[in-house]
Structure formats: structure tokens, C-alpha cells
């Protein structure tokens, strides 16, 4: 698999430093599982960050600080436990689903439960923690179907898991990711032959340009 569209350098640095919101962390991790080039770039960013930490000033801990930390961890306190279904705890590397995504949907795209939101367009929402302000969902779009022209209210990433689409930025196939901001407007159209299945992370609702598309937006919720 040859990946042609990659993550922005700023996104890679934010991911390496742990600065991305949950939805964007998941989609970046899924892309990294499919893209050797971006994995190498993240490793480089992490190594650079590690060198900065090593070169930084150190501070002495107060007496007994480590023991107090361990007691706090033993007490449980505010620890958050996330239950992961048994079937998804071990990622299936032979799957058509990137390993970081398997804990949400399992190892097969065929098992995803879709909800029709428009003719030729189906959606599946992924559950994130209640504290996140971003959204993560999957789209299943029929061959030859065009999404209405739109812009974005903030950052948006779209990772192609299966099939392909084309827009003003080029052809996006399996493994390609569109790392977009609020300045980009486009109209993706799925290539003939097979549906396009995408993973999408958004910071704010999509801004559709057409009058009727804007009227329907509260129903389709993308």
C-alpha cells in the first residue's frame, strides 16, 4: 500500500507531545499504523523532544514524594477505568482495520453497524470519553456519490480505510489522510467501483455551502 497524502508537520509534533484531543489522537494513531513515512516522522519528533528534556534543568523532589504518589495510586482516588470488550483487546494485525481503531469497532469493516443519513451515505459514531469536545465517526459513501461542497468550522481529518475519493486536493485512497483546517473548502466525490469508507475527526460541525445542504445538516449531523 502506497500512501500519498500525509499528516501536517504541526500535527505530527502535537501528537508526539501528547497535545491532541481524543478524536484526533485516535485518527492520527490509525494513520500511523498504515503509513511508514509518518511513523518515522513521529519517532524523530519524539527523539528530539527527549533530547530537550534531557538538556533541561532538573528539580529535586521533596522527601517522601515518591511514597506519597504510590499511596495515592493504591487508593484509586480519581482513577478512570475504561472497559474494553474482550474481543478487541488484542489487535488482529491481519485485519482491514488499523490496530488503534480495532478497540472501537473490532477487526472487520464488515461488522460495522451503519445508519443511513442521506441517499448513498451511511454513518457510524464512535464513542469517546464525555470530556472530549471533538467528534469521531465513520462514513460509508456509495460509488460515484459526491458529498456537497463544504468548508470546516475548525480542524478536520479524514482517513480513508477502504475505497477512494477525489477532490480539489487530489485522489485519496486507502491509508491517505486529509489534514484540513477552516480555510479549506472542497467537494469529495467517491471513485467508481466500490464504496469509500472513511474515519473522520472534527473539531466543529461542517459548513455546507448549498442552501438545501444547510437545511439538511441538523438531520445528517456531520
CATH number at residue 146: 2.60.120.10
Q: Which residues contact 18 (CB under 8 A, 6 or more apart)?
A: none
How many domains is the chain partitioned into structurally?
A: 1
| Banded pLDDT at 55 (limits 50, 70, 90) | low
Q: Is the dihedral of CA 143, 170, 182, 44 positive or negative?
A: positive
**8: closest CA among 206, 169, 198, 134?**
169
| Banded pLDDT at 60 (limits 50, 70, 90) | low
Lowest mean pLDDT, pick from 17-31, 41-55, 90-104, 120-134: 41-55
Whether 207 maps to a domain, the answer reads: yes
Q: Is the pLDDT of residue 38 over 80?
A: yes
Tell me the residue range of the domain where 176 lies: 104-220
Whether 130 maps to a domain, the answer reads: yes
| Banded pLDDT at 130 (limits 50, 70, 90) | confident
Q: What is the pTM of this model?
A: 0.75
Whether 72 maps to a domain, the answer reads: no
**98: closest CA among 168, 188, 213, 1?**
1
Show the CA angle centred on residue 46, arms to residues 3 and 81, nearest 5°. 90
Amino acid at each position: 500500500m502506497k500512501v500519498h497524502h500525509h499528516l501536517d508537520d504541526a500535527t505530527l509534533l502535537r501528537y508526539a507531545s501528547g497535545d491532541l484531543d481524543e478524536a484526533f489522537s485516535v485518527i492520527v494513531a490509525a494513520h500511523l499504523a498504515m503509513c511508514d513515512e509518518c511513523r518515522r516522522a513521529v519517532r524523530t519528533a519524539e527523539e528530539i523532544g527527549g533530547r530537550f528534556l534531557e538538556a533541561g534543568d532538573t528539580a529535586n523532589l521533596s522527601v517522601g514524594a515518591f511514597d506519597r504518589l504510590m499511596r495515592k495510586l493504591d487508593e484509586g482516588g480519581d482513577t478512570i477505568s475504561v472497559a474494553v470488550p474482550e474481543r478487541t483487546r488484542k489487535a488482529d494485525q491481519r485485519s482491514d482495520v488499523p490496530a488503534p481503531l480495532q478497540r472501537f469497532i473490532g477487526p472487520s469493516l464488515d461488522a460495522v453497524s451503519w445508519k443511513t443519513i442521506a441517499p448513498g451515505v451511511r454513518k457510524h459514531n464512535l464513542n469517546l470519553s464525555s470530556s472530549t469536545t471533538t467528534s469521531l465517526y465513520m462514513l460509508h459513501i456509495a460509488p460515484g456519490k459526491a458529498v456537497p461542497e463544504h468548508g470546516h468550522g475548525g480542524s478536520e481529518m479524514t482517513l480513508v480505510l477502504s475505497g477512494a475519493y477525489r477532490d480539489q486536493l487530489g485522489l485519496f485512497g486507502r491509508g491517505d489522510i486529509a489534514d484540513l483546517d477552516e480555510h479549506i473548502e472542497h467537494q469529495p466525490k467517491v471513485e467508481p467501483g466500490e464504496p469509500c469508507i472513511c474515519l473522520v475527526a472534527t473539531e466543529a460541525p461542517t459548513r455546507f455551502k448549498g442552501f438545501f445542504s444547510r437545511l439538511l445538516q441538523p438531520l445528517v449531523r456531520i
